[in-house]
Structure 1
């Protein structure tokens, strides 16, 4: 569908589903048509208003109105995807018992086979379904399989919840817009909804009240994107990040029967002081090289020789994305012969380099310096040894940095010795660091 067809379809949908007219001014309709064509505010012509007015007032008001009417988070950035999906699946997924919308996976990835994660799936089910943890963080390197694991988990346990909603922060939302969207979703047939009249604290308490009445599972994917979006200013990003921290603190501290899961590279800083009895963290690592299902998946899908498949998985420490990027290279340039490929140096695809670049862009200088040092150590080292390498930095600061690096899955902690030791978690990461930072 082109932009005009989507707008006509949207008007018909609102009339049919909500029994109201979609009241758009000529200017708003033009903004929507331009946005559906991915045209920037600065290039929108003949609207009758200054660009700053369109960008800061008329445009945001339009997308807030569309979010309220549709019950979905609609922004300039995601309007084509969201409205297209709305019109392709106008009824959403229905609960057969009460025929009300209860499963919103519009922003979730397609369900795929997940190999070798039985232990992690079981742990999540224990925490979320059995122990009723309020807040769960799933952390780890990009490409390690966090999102696919949670998508598989949702498919496994969705019938145990009244509502399941997946929010992808690749399409970042202000907290107030997100809460308005959630409120309109929950209270779509409730005349008491007055989202626009509530401040953020009232909206948070309103949502907590609903989470108390109903068993809900909310998934926040790509959590770190909250602080990356360029759609709002740096000051607004910081305020928005703090607001989400308030929301997560409320989820962890107030009584309810639901769970919020956030997936990302690191936890929100407010989680360090949250109620630990109701909060859990899972840092995802690589797949086991002896997982025959995953081995067969690689062999079958990439036409590789079965000689050396365990060695390949072991060499890449079970890093799913790195393996799936290396496999076509083996098939194309080594005729599928794994041992021939392994004779060379460790293959680091550009996509992996981009992922590590994003990781390092979020680290503080002290954290970068620590992980650079660890990458040049031949063996894992203890905290006292690390303290000696950075004598001008307080031990508390180093310990805090190590805690963050371990949580994000960049550094591995080994408790087998008298004193815990630490090392870079992955050979690919070590090679990346040595290539990116040649001097230390």
Structure 2
């Protein structure tokens, strides 16, 4: 769908509500938003003030939200338009027009969506230079996206990896950091590269054989998966696929498979990336998909890195990892949406909460509820208030080994970055064990490495530090 089709559809939506067409500035706002421009860029192109553009945009988003019955804003506009086209929220009328709700849009180039009542499988046609490619999309397992904030460099990196035929990509980060939103945005940009795009969550820890049967069934258009006539030739392939020819589908079609919540198949109270009993074959599966010849791609979303990945990844290898960090100045959009005061204080909030979008949304709501939106009043307290963040962090810390918890307690009570060659006496961990522990904590995204005088030192963020100190106080 190109920008002119987006503008035509939006104009019909606005006209249905107001009996007025989009004006020049409204069109410029939608065009700029579709092209992922920010308000200052749009204002400069239109020779208008940023404040005026924001005022007009706010009214436009409100109008579209009222027309469609869902929240529309600059951050989610692009994704929402894509979702309309990928789902049954629109239908084809007798005049070959796209119907969104009660509004018809002129869609001479729009793809026709599947009319499956279950919304489990959707199909649309993507026109290429030589032919029309049929793309099968199943995002039924994907969570509702949070607002997407500008991550241009991360998107570019992931897109380059995929175009470079990377076979396995792991996106790592704490809960709420934006792994889902980033991946959904990535799908909208690279969907034309694939025949099948499938999102599956492992939150219920499905056995590998069940997952593969489900994936093959989707690739077969819902047809039952036949029993293999010939066993897989190699023992490792029989172990990983159960004799099912998933790899054959990955070779004969270009598939993008996203597996979310990978951490649920790992054991708690063990070092990061150790599988639960009965799930070890996932590790062999990831290894096989990385090392076998095919044109498909597997993306893993996880709180912690699978232990095989470190040995498989490399600059010139088909396995890569992206450590997703917090937002920078882009996070200020969260505070604008929440109506916080004192913009000059916002950067301090972003630093304290490490730019984690979910954390910042939680703290912004709390500041609005308790302090009337005053950031300086919130920051005047000596201790960092966590509120609802404590339950989120507990999910991460509940997975740690006793040695990891000791190490985190040490880091929490060490104001400066710690040198692990100088182990305090009260830390009952041997030097070799401490190295394993710090590596594991890094794979869980809980510690940060900084260089001082040519040596690696380790530290933790203020939110995590406060959580550990509060937890220690409660025990005492």
| TM-score relative to the length of structure 1 | 0.70
8 Å CA contact 1:253–1:275 kept in 2: the answer is no
Which of the two has greater helix per residue?
1
- Alignment-derived partner of residue 251 in structure 2: 212
Q: Distance in 2 between matches of 1:90 and 1:245?
A: 28
8 Å CA contact 2:241–2:285 kept in 1: the answer is no
Higher mean C-alpha displacement, 312-321 vs 271-280: 271-280
Q: Distance in 2 between matches of 1:202 and 1:324?
A: 42
- Alignment-derived partner of residue 380 in structure 2: 343
**Which structure ranks higher in relative contact order (CA pairs < 8 Å, sequence separation ≥ 6)?**
1
| 1:150 to 1:432, Cα distance in 2 relative to 1, 3 A | same
| TM-score relative to the length of structure 2 | 0.65
Q: Distance in 1 between matches of 2:393 and 2:153?
A: 26
* Structure 1: segments with no counterpart, 5+ residues: 1-84, 230-236
Alpha-carbon displacement from aligned partner over 1:55-112 (angstroms, at most 9, x marks no partner): xxxxxxxxxxxxxxxxxxxxxxxxxxxxxx9634376233356785611111112345
8 Å CA contact 1:137–1:281 kept in 2: the answer is yes
| In the alignment, structure 1 residue 396 sits paired with structure 2 residue 432 | yes
- Alignment-derived partner of residue 180 in structure 1: 213
| 1:267 to 1:205, Cα distance in 2 relative to 1, 3 A | farther
| 1:286 to 1:245, Cα distance in 2 relative to 1, 3 A | same
Alpha-carbon displacement from aligned partner over 1:111-163 (angstroms, at most 9, x marks no partner): 45422422222221222222x22211111111111221112112221111221
| 1:91 to 1:377, Cα distance in 2 relative to 1, 3 A | closer
8 Å CA contact 1:223–1:264 kept in 2: the answer is yes
Q: Specify the SS of the correspondent of 2:321.
A: strand
Q: 1:280 aligns with which of 320, 325, 328?
A: 320
- Alignment-derived partner of residue 110 in structure 1: 144
| 1:187 to 1:115, Cα distance in 2 relative to 1, 3 A | same
Q: Distance in 2 between matches of 1:184 and 1:248?
A: 20
Q: Distance in 2 between matches of 1:246 and 1:220?
A: 15
Q: Distance in 2 between matches of 1:197 and 1:361?
A: 44
Q: Distance in 1 between matches of 2:138 and 2:156?
A: 23
Computed over aligned residues only, the root mean square deviation of the Cα atoms, in angstroms, reads 3.0
- Alignment-derived partner of residue 470 in structure 2: 435
Matches within 5 A, 1:416-431: 416-424=452-460, 426-431=461-466
8 Å CA contact 2:228–2:244 kept in 1: the answer is no
Q: Specify the SS of the correspondent of 1:295.
A: helix
Q: Distance in 1 between matches of 2:228 and 2:471?
A: 48
- Alignment-derived partner of residue 268 in structure 1: 306
Q: Distance in 2 between matches of 1:129 and 1:381?
A: 40
8 Å CA contact 1:304–1:330 kept in 2: the answer is no
- Alignment-derived partner of residue 121 in structure 1: 155
Q: Specify the SS of the correspondent of 1:217.
A: strand
Q: Specify the SS of the correspondent of 2:404.
A: helix
Alpha-carbon displacement from aligned partner over 1:147-206 (angstroms, at most 9, x marks no partner): 211121122211112211111122432211111111112123879833699765444772
| In the alignment, structure 1 residue 359 sits paired with structure 2 residue 371 | no
Matches within 5 A, 1:319-338: 319-338=356-375
- Alignment-derived partner of residue 238 in structure 1: 276
Higher mean C-alpha displacement, 256-265 vs 93-102: 93-102
Alpha-carbon displacement from aligned partner over 1:326-346 (angstroms, at most 9, x marks no partner): 112211221111111111231
- Alignment-derived partner of residue 93 in structure 1: 123
- Alignment-derived partner of residue 199 in structure 2: 166
| 1:93 to 1:192, Cα distance in 2 relative to 1, 3 A | closer
- Alignment-derived partner of residue 105 in structure 2: none
Q: Distance in 1 between matches of 2:391 and 2:180?
A: 18
| 1:94 to 1:434, Cα distance in 2 relative to 1, 3 A | same
| 1:358 to 1:196, Cα distance in 2 relative to 1, 3 A | farther
8 Å CA contact 2:412–2:468 kept in 1: the answer is yes
Aligned length: 342
- Alignment-derived partner of residue 193 in structure 1: 226
Alpha-carbon displacement from aligned partner over 1:357-390 (angstroms, at most 9, x marks no partner): 111121111111111101100100122124x557
8 Å CA contact 1:204–1:247 kept in 2: the answer is no
Q: Specify the SS of the correspondent of 1:385.
A: coil
Q: Distance in 2 between matches of 1:115 and 1:136?
A: 21
* Structure 2: segments with no counterpart, 5+ residues: 1-114, 232-237, 269-274
8 Å CA contact 1:252–1:275 kept in 2: the answer is no
Q: Distance in 1 between matches of 2:247 and 2:435?
A: 35
8 Å CA contact 1:187–1:193 kept in 2: the answer is no
Q: Distance in 2 between matches of 1:416 and 1:113?
A: 37
Q: Specify the SS of the correspondent of 2:415.
A: coil
